[in-house]
Amino acid sequence: MGIPWTSVFWQNLGGKYVFTCPLGGDDFEVTTRIRRPLEGQDHASWGRQFHFDTITSEYDEFCEPVRRVVQLAAKTGGTQEFPLFSGPRLQSIVSHGSIALIGDASHPLSGAFGAGAGFALEDTYTLSKTLDWAWNKGKGLGEALKLYDNIRSPHYEKLYNELDWYGKVGAEVAAEGLSVDEEIKERVKRISSGRGTWMYEYDIQKIVEQALKATLA
């Protein structure tokens, strides 16, 4: 069929893509994304049955192998829809001095960096360390959560800034009037400058250790 035996994102414009991933044997996972207006949408918190064949024409501009795999996926049935919707950007991930947000609750980014599980583990690790620090120092819950917030909220602010930069790059390229292939190529080229690699090199253990040492100063 022409689909590589590896995970591939087949990109298009307007946030539209098709993701194909081999699962073993002749089985593939096929995930597609398409943007819809927010007005009138019934957001589901988890997957729900969806008739994929109603939107296969939306992928007609993709290459032949992708069109074929999309049509095949529509015929197999069992398709589910996962409406993505993000929340507001949070200035603080602690509320009322007693509630800490972790995982997706602390960074409603709609999977922008493909590292949500890693961010959640970083949150959990940080929270466990600040709670342990507060317990051993005879401090209250509020102090533990304040330290947790001081470590993680600035990190998420930097991630939001990266999203803004990606959006700016996309808008600039879109305004140049390039063909679809050239626009995608140029977008990938510009956002592959290495600017965002810091988030994957971020060492939460060192960051937490530095924050704990700073409390002794």
Q: What is the pLDDT of residues 158-185, one digit of tens each?
A: 988 888 888 898 899 989 999 888 988 8
Average of pLDDT values for 145-156? 96
Residues 126, 127, 132, 138: what is their CA dihedral angle, to the nearest 10 degrees?
A: 120
Here the tokens at position 2 are: 């022409």
Tell me what pLDDT residue 17 has. Answer: 86
Average of pLDDT values for 34-55? 74
pTM to 2 decimal places: 0.74
Instruction: Supply the DSSP symbol for 111.
Output: T
The three-class DSSP label of residue 168 is helix
Tell me what pLDDT residue 117 has. Answer: 83
Per-residue pLDDT at 77 exceeds 80: no
Mean pLDDT of the chain: 86
Tell me what pLDDT residue 86 has. Answer: 62
Find tokens 């603080």 and name the residue.
Answer: 92
The three-class DSSP label of residue 66 is helix
CA–CA distance, 50 with 31 (Å, rounded to integer): 13
CA 138 to chain centre: 37
Neighbours of 122 (CB within 10 A): 23
Tell me what pLDDT residue 112 has. Answer: 65
Beta strands in 58-155 (DSSP E): 80-81, 94-95, 99-100
Band of residue 133 on the pLDDT scale cut at 50, 70, 90 = very high
Q: What is the pLDDT of residues 25-36, one digit of tens each?
A: 888 888 888 877
Identity of residue 138: G
